[in-house]
Amino acid sequence: MRGMLRARSARVMHEQAHGPNMTPMVDIVMVILIFFMASAAIMGPEWLLRTALPSPKAVGSAAAGDVTPVSASVQVVGGSFRVVLRVGEARREAGVESVASEAASLAREFGADRLVVAIDADAEAPYDAVVRVHEAFVKAGVTRIGLPAPR
C-alpha cells in the first residue's frame, strides 16, 4: 500500500514537472496512420473495368450465336454527343446521362447474360463518355462488353 502511494506520488510529481507522457499516444497514432495508409494502398482509390478486345472474326461469331449483339456508339453531333444503341434493326438514342436506364431496359428485355455489347465512339468523343457507357452496361449486369476493332 505504501509502495503504491509512493509510486503514484512519483508519477504525479513527474507529470507536474514534465507534463503528461505523450510517447504512447504518438506511437498509437503512428500505428493507426500506417494501418489506414496500408489499407488504402491495398484497396486503392482506383477501379478496373475489364473490356474485351474482340477480333472481327469473334464479332461475327458472336452475332451468329445464341446472343443478342448490341452496338453502343458515342457520336459527336455539333458540340454535344449522344449514344446510339442498335439491337438488330432497332435503334435507340440516349444521352450519356440516360444511357444507364437504356442499358437496364435492354438487360431486362433480352437478359443481361445474353447481351454482347460492342462500344464504339467518334474520335472526337470524350473518353469519359466511352467509360460511362461501359459503366452503364456493367451496372445493368452485362459482362460481355468489348471495344471492337475499327472498320
Partner 1 sequence: MRRLAIHRGASGSHINVTPLIDVVMCLIVFYLIVGRLASTNGQAVAPPATGVGDTAAMPRLVVNVARSDSGAIELSLSGTSLTLESLGEALRLRLGDPPTGEVAIRADRRLAWGDVRPVVEACRAAGLSSVKLVTERNEGATR
Q: Is-contact 129 77, C-beta < 8 A?
A: no
The residue (of 88 and 113) whose beta carbon lies closer to partner 1 is 113
Residue type, 56: P
The three grid cell numbers given for residue 114, joined into one nine-digit string: 445474353
What part of residues 14-73 is at the interface with partner 1 (CB under 8 A)?
Answer: 23, 26-27, 30-31, 33-34, 37-38, 41, 43-55
* SS3 category, 55: coil
User: Residue 135 interacts with partner 1 (CB under 8 A)?
Assistant: yes
The Cα–Cα gap between 143 and 113 comes to 7
Q: Is-contact 70 117, C-beta < 8 A?
A: yes
Residues 112-131, one symbol each (x = binds partner 1 by CB under 8 A, - = not), give: ---------xxxxxxxxxxx
The Cα–Cα gap between 33 and 19 comes to 25
The residue (of 70 and 119) whose beta carbon lies closer to partner 1 is 119
The residue (of 87 and 141) whose beta carbon lies closer to partner 1 is 141
Residues that bind partner 1 (CB under 8 A): 23, 26-27, 30-31, 33-34, 37-38, 41, 43-55, 74, 97, 100, 121-132, 134-135, 138-139, 146-147, 149-150
